[in-house]
Structure 1
């Protein structure tokens, strides 16, 4: 292997950043390259190692890309990882020389050592990272800042989601001291830090048979003191959301006290009690409406995630979601998602149900008042660009 080249685009920048930080831990003296797909196409040479990571939504684009790349450089060594590759490893071997399944921070060491001895080939089973504090959030050799992953895994087991299958077992959390040190590094590089967090459920930080309010407040208190007036602190909003089951008056008061965001994202997915049970959601309509009331009382803008076309939906279950939309029209914003059977999820082989026209019209009626974004029906012609 002459050079390690990481191919990064806007859809995989967080996962590539984690790999870069791990690469620097294992190989502090070695150089690496990070390029966009366009730049990498012309830069790569046959004795390089090209590393890719992608989600299901961009998998087709990356398959097309590496197919064309291999036409130009037949002997180029390519390896892919990420959520899609973990769930469809055998399929990906048709296009890539090697596939890494699961977590990559520890496996990157084995991959690079294999490449230096010859070629990386076949399926490499990723090793589970037991202590997230063993790996920095931000690489040091290049400026690559962004949201901080504070939780890996999820206390829920939602049937439509890849996370419960990808990160099995107990939740893993970064410590407050470690998080603060990474924020200090970000401040030293840019002088200003907008702090956001990555977690499947923002209320699950240090989750222990329930919400750990003390840990969440301690995290936010320490981060707030660290950034002072040199940054903003966001919690319970993009790129993470809150499970309504974790929302209480106490949590809302904590967010008001320490955070800068005035928008909160709540995951509901369906307003039907029956659908909540089928999906294995921890929360339902009652918890969601309670959370909405609590946040509205503090003048937050509420965004509610809904998935349309879920398996097992019926006329009756769709009617419950319709009533929810009508009840909260003008008070909350709907983020609509068409159901997409994700590889590796429990519902990976399920077929979407047809969304009633009445419900489609109800959602689209919110466009005029700026209270909806996203799609209700999957656009078959939509192509993810990398």
Structure 2
């Protein structure tokens, strides 16, 4: 067996992704004793890898989002330049999955596109056994087959209960990475993972899902509130559970799924005082262009129901959509002001063109003066929050990068790198 060492390049944004990979690795007996390390910067990586025996083969894995690509690129350059041991650089996560060609050009040896629970451990096993790696499918992993976190390293996080999204919003990478078919962890498996967390002293339970109220749904569109109730009631009655959070960060709910019945379920079983509701725009025209498949009226109704039932409504909006007109912006301004009068707060984001989405080649529009005035007014009142300004600066940097990638690759590679299906 080959002396293999696995190192994860860790930051605050990729912790959950690393934990999922660790959970997958721990599923395989052949990998249970694999030496695994974590570094937080290139200096740590160089020092650690150079301390390994010269006979060892190191796999250094990066998982990252598009806004991080410049930092990652600089780290890769430094590591390539200063590491004096045999090294394989691997990459996965949202940006590598959307831009595998560009990621390889950054200096990586392998890019894992999509879900890594099967492919990444298989790659590690092939290295240990000195065998040729045979690439496997990266879609439709059975969530029940893998741990959602690492027991070995006590690296716990919210439990992923649903993967995949049927809606295919034009700005979103989720359905392009995980597919449009929704898959759910079964209630029995979720309960087992919660019990494991309780044994390790974790008493607050949260979930990762594109849309909390889609749990148990066959298509992710039509609600299955019976499954939602069974999930929440099963988790809530586990001995040792202190609080359960559902429909709040790090997940959200779609506005059309917010009904008196669904909110009553959350109110009965969950402990969060807020609901995160995805609106994105106050213009029905923009919502249609984005493929959101809900209306402004759906958002309005969802906020009224949430507030009526005692929840703080945190409503997501995205500024800078490329095809916005002055009238679209005016409608969004009016809608945000109307929602805040109802008791909602605005979570502000800025549109980023992301690889492999239909809007990948679209140029963002700067926030105009009228919108900026309203943003500042609502921020001053504590009714608007978010890192939209930093995202605005990154958005144009990303656009320039992707535009260059798009111009400098062949037609065939363009189809692969920017396929929106």
Superposed pair shares fold, TM > 0.5:
yes
Shift in alpha-carbon separation, 1:315–1:102, aligned structure 2, 3 A:
same
Deviations 1:19-62 (A, max 9, x none): 10111112354233231323333212373111121111222211
Pick one of 24, 27, 44 that aligns with 2:49.
44
List runs of 5+ in structure 1 lacking aligned partners.
Answer: none
Equivalent-residue separation in structure 1 for 2:376 and 2:135 (angstroms) = 45
Pairing 1:132–2:137 present? no
Q: Deviations over 1:338-381 (max 9, x none)?
A: 11101111111101123321111101111222111124444537
Q: How many residues align?
A: 380
1:356 to 325, 348, 368: 368
1:380 pairs with one of 386, 390, 393: 393
How far apart are the structure 2 equivalents of 1:381 and 1:298? Answer: 38
Matches within 5 A, 1:56-135: 56-73=66-83, 75-94=86-105, 95-117=107-129, 126-135=137-146
Query: What secondary structure, in the 3-state scheme, does the structure 1 residue paired with 2:393 have?
Result: coil
Query: Residue 300 of structure 1 is aligned with which of 308, 311, 323?
Result: 311
Q: Distance in 2 between matches of 1:14 and 1:375?
A: 20
Change (3 A) 1:315 1:16: same
Q: 2:37 aligns with which of 6, 31, 34?
A: 34
Length-normalised TM-score, structure 2: 0.85
Structure 1 match to 2:14: 12
Partner of 1:5, secondary structure, is: strand
Does the CA contact (< 8 Å) of 1:100 and 1:126 recur in 2? no
Q: 1:265 aligns with which of 276, 280, 288?
A: 276
**Any residues of structure 2 matched to 1:209-220 within 5 Å, and which?**
209=219, 210-220=222-232
**Which region of structure 1 is more displaced relative to structure 2, 262-271 or 230-239?**
230-239
Give the corresponding residue for 2:170.
Answer: 159
Indicate if the aligned counterparts of 2:284 and 2:296 stay in contact, CA closer than 8 A: yes
Q: CA RMSD in A?
A: 2.1
Q: List alignment gaps of at least 5 residues for structure 2.
A: 398-421
The 1:53/1:375 distance shift into structure 2, 3 A limit, reads: closer
Q: CA deviation at 1:66?
A: 1.5
Q: In the TM superposition, what whole-angstrom CA distance separates every residue of 1:186-238 from its partner, at most 9, and x where no partner exists?
A: 00011x3211111111111122350111111111000101155x421101110
Tell me, what secondary structure is at the counterpart of 1:223? helix
Instruction: Write the mapping of 1:295-374 to structure 2, written as runs, cut at 5 A.
Output: 295-330=306-341, 331-374=343-386
3-state SS, counterpart of residue 374 of structure 2: helix
Q: CA deviation at 1:251?
A: 0.7
**TM-score after normalising by structure 1:** 0.93
Q: Structure 1 pair 188/68, CA: closer, same or farther in 2 (3 Å)?
A: same
**Contact kept in structure 2, 1:184 and 1:226, CA below 8 Å:** yes
State the alpha-carbon separation in 2 of the partners of residues 308 and 118 from structure 1. Answer: 50
* CA distance in structure 1 between the aligned counterparts of 2:144 and 2:304, rounded to whole angstroms: 37
